[in-house]
Amino acid sequence: MPHADRNLAPAVHADRGLIQERASTMQDRLIVGLDVPTLKEAEKAVRELDGVVSFYKIGYQLAFAGGLDFARELASGGTRIFLDMKLLDIDNTVAKGVEAIARMGMTMLTLHAYPKTMKAAVEAARGSDLCLLGVTVLTSMDEQDVIDAGYEYDPHTLVLRRSEQALHAGMGGIVCSAEEAEAVRRIVGPNLAVVTPGIRPKGSDHGDQKRVVTPAQAIRNGSSHLVVGRPIVGAADRRAVAEAILDEMRSA
């Protein structure tokens, strides 16, 4: 089993310390996925969640609807932003993208956990505060989806293999299902962020997510951060749902 601190670039290591330190309250550990179609909707959601949520994830949908400037604006006011770009390209293109994103003041950035891609990204982020997260296997994929994508591993094995590769590449954390968080934590050690989407409070709609876990169980499984999108953003009373999820996380 690899040692948690082996092969870590100093800048990424320092940043991981920062992430851990900042993530000392449950509020710091809840990341709300701003998966909404317009800037107006995003601004409304952030207003409604003011004081309850302080960490947002911006992905494809909002990024291509003016969300990148909004991300910069929120970050400059002290709100933490996880830019979910799931980068994958040739090393040089990924490196140039990471350098540009590092200058935007983002807290977290995702890329697919391919060893060469991760190494290029870690090199490019060196000296910045950006925490790089490796996406292992999407939480919307089950065993058949992974076979259809041409992999010879089952999702669990693939997640563990990619977690080990992320650790060796010097990444700041892993994105995986909270079902796998316990096993991933054993591989990556206590310092890396283990960020888990696919969170569903009891009784809520699963949507396209297949490997889902409740907020309390995700915390018990060793997640450092929970990503919650539709259960909060799609709710009539977003603030009440976010508060209920935070209560459930605290109860764990």
CA distance 30 to 53: 7
Q: Residue from 170, 198, 215, 222 that binds ligand C5P (CB under 6 A)? A: 198
Q: Report in angstroms how near the CB of residue 137 gets to ligand C5P at its nearest.
A: 7
Q: Is the distance from CB of 43 to CB of 77 less than 8 angstroms?
A: no
DSSP bridge pairs for 131: 108
Report which of 240, 238, 246 is spatially closest to residue 43, judged by C-alpha positions: 238
Q: Counting contacts by CB under 6 A, is residue 227 touching ligand C5P?
A: yes
Q: Is the distance from CB of 216 to CB of 30 less than 8 angstroms?
A: no
Three-class DSSP category at 152: coil
CB closer to ligand C5P, 12 vs 226: 226
Q: Report in angstroms how near the CB of residue 196 gets to ligand C5P at its nearest.
A: 9
Q: Counting contacts by CB under 6 A, is residue 67 touching ligand C5P?
A: no
Binding residues for ligand C5P, total number by CB under 6 A: 17
Residues with Cβ < 8 Å from 76, sequence gap 6 or more? 105
Q: Counting contacts by CB under 6 A, is residue 187 touching ligand C5P?
A: no
CA distance 188 to 109: 18
CA distance 64 to 59: 9
Burial status of residue 134 (CB atoms within 10 A of its CB: 0-12, 13-18, 19 or more) = buried
Q: Residue from 26, 52, 59, 165 that binds ligand C5P (CB under 6 A)? A: 59
CB closer to ligand C5P, 12 vs 212: 212
Region near ligand C5P per CB under 6 A, out of 94-102, 120-128, 145-153, 223-231: 223-231
Q: Counting contacts by CB under 6 A, is residue 135 touching ligand C5P?
A: yes
Amino acid symbol at 26: M
Residue 40 known to be catalytic: no
CB closer to ligand C5P, 8 vs 159: 159
Catalytic position from the list 40, 44, 86, 210: 86
Looking at residues 68 to 107 of the shown chain, list those that interact with ligand C5P (rule: CB under 6 A): 84
Q: Which residues make up the interface to ligand C5P (CB under 6 A)?
A: 33, 35, 59, 84, 135, 138-139, 175, 197-198, 207, 209, 227-231
